[in-house]
Amino acid sequence: MDAMETSVVDVPERGRFEIRQGERVVGLASYHVDNGQMTLPHTEVDPSMGGQGIGTKLVDGVLTAARERGLTVLPYCSFVRRHILQNPQFLDLVADDDRPHFGLETADR
């Protein structure tokens, strides 16, 4: 059991969500919000933290925040797209018209 608490924190003044282990930032997802859409261009995780599900937990946190705020998402980041494909419960966050652009149009048919 990892004693360090992992948390996803929105840092709007930096335009990113951070995932932290204790006080240490171990990953981030940049974003901006415009007209009810959250654009997600880039996600990165500390390479030394690979294989611990940090990226998955980060993207889960970001998509959950988008849902809570009533936003749709534009998953330009390939990691976010892959996460949505693997977790179809998030597919509704991508507007119908935007899905073909991100290769997500077949996920729910």
In tens, the pLDDT along 68-94 reads 999 999 999 999 999 999 999 999 999
Domain count, the chain: 1
Is the distance from CB of 72 to CB of 94 less than 8 angstroms? yes
In a domain, residue 25? The reply is: yes
What is the distance, to the nearest Å, from the Cα of residue 27 to the centroid of all Cα atoms in its chain?
Answer: 11
In a domain, residue 58? The reply is: yes
Query: How confident is residue 101, by pLDDT bands cut at 50, 70 and 90?
Result: very high
Q: How far apart are CA 73 and CA 47, in angstroms?
A: 26
In a domain, residue 107? The reply is: no
In a domain, residue 91? The reply is: yes
Write the burial class of residue 28 (CB in 10 Å: 0-12 exposed, 13-18 middle, 19+ buried): buried
In a domain, residue 40? The reply is: yes
- Residue 65's domain is classified under what CATH number? 3.40.630.30
At 3 the pLDDT is 58
Domain span holding position 31: 6-102
* Higher pLDDT, residue 50 or 54: 54
Q: For residue 29, is pLDDT > 70? A: yes
In a domain, residue 108? The reply is: no
